[in-house]
Amino acid sequence: MDIMQILGYVGALMIGLVLGLIGGGGSILTVPVLVYLLAVNPVTATAYSLFVVGSSALVGAGKNLQKGQVGLKTALAFAIPAVIAVFSTRKFIVPAIPEKIIRISGFTLTKDIGIMLFFAVLMIMASFSMILDKKKITEKAQKPSERNYWLLAPLGILTGLVTGLVGAGGGFIIIPILVLLAGLPMKKAVGTSLLIIAINSLLGFLGDLGHMDINWVFLLIFTALAIAGIFLGVYLNRFFNGQKLKKAFGWFVLVMGIYIIWTEISG
C-alpha cells in the first residue's frame, strides 16, 4: 500500500469525521478523495460516492428518526421523484455522455473533465451554504398556509439529476427547499434531508449495477471508515463549536473547488 492509498483511506475517515462534527458537508469530499488520492475514474468515483454518501446519510437519518426529527411525508414527497431522476441519470444519461464532449482551441472537454468541473462548481455552491448564516434561511421560512408542497416534486427531480451526475447528496440544496417550501424547522429539515439523501443515493447507486464493475471489497472498507469517522465526530462534537467548524470547512471546500477547476482545465 503506497502513501496515496493510505491518505485516501485517511480521507475516508475524515469524510465521516466532518459529518459527525458539523452534521453535514463531509460527503462533498468523497469524489475528490477517490479521484485524486485513490486514482479512481471520475465516473466510477461518482457511483462509489453515491454508496458511501447514502450509507453515511442512513446512519444519520436513523439517529434523527429516533429523535423525531424527520418529516416522513415531506421526505417521501421529495424523495420519490428525486430517486427516479437519480436512477435514470445513472442508468441512462451518464453512460450516454460521449467520452469527448467538445474541443475548443486545443482543449478537449472529456466526459471525466466535464464531471469534475461540474462537481467543482457544486463544491463552490456548497461552500457558500456552509459559510453563510443559515439563520437567515430560517427567518424566511414560510407560514403553514403558504407552503408550496407542489414544488417539491419538480425540485426533487432537479436535485436527483444533479445527485446522479456528480454522486453528491445535495444536502445544501435540499435543506433550504425543506425550510422555505415545506416550512420545516432547521433541525427537522436536516434530519429529513439525510433520509432523502440516503434514499436517493442508495437507490440511485442501483442504476450503476449491470454496466459498471464494482470493487466491493474496496468500497465496503472505504464506507466502513467513513461511518467510523461519523461516530468519532459525534463524540468529538461536544468539545468543539460546530458553527465555527462549519464555516472553516466551508472555506476549505471553496478552495478545493477552485483548485479542482484549475487542475482540470490546466491538466
The DSSP H or E segment spanning 107 is: strand 107-110
Dist. CA 82–CA 204, nearest whole Å: 9
Model confidence at 116: pLDDT above 80: yes
CA distances from 48 to 193, 207, 234, 264 (A): 20, 12, 24, 20
Backbone angles phi, psi at 106, to 5 degrees: 85, -10
- pLDDT tens-digit map of 204-213: 999 998 888 9
On the question of pLDDT at 98 being above 60, the answer is: yes
Name the pairing type of β-strands 100-104 and 107-110: antiparallel
Q: In 10 A of CB 123, how many CB atoms?
A: 25
For the chain, the distance separating the N- and C-terminal CA atoms, rounded to the nearest angstrom, is 26
What pLDDT, on a 0 to 100 scale, did the predictor assign at position 145? Answer: 44
Strand partners, 107: 104
Mean pLDDT, the chain, whole residue set: 88
Delimit the domains of the chain by residue range.
3-266
Assign 64 a pLDDT band (cuts: 50, 70, 90). Answer: confident
Q: What is the pLDDT of residue 135?
A: 61
Rounded to two decimals, what is the model's pTM?
0.90
**In whole angstroms, what is the distance from residue 96 CA to residue 82 CA?**
20
Q: What is the mean pLDDT of residues 217-224?
A: 97
Residue 159, judged by CB atoms within 10 A of its CB (0-12, 13-18, 19+), counts as buried
What is the Cα–Cα distance from 232 to 15, expressed in whole angstroms? Answer: 11
- Least confident stretch, 113-122, 226-235, 254-263: 226-235
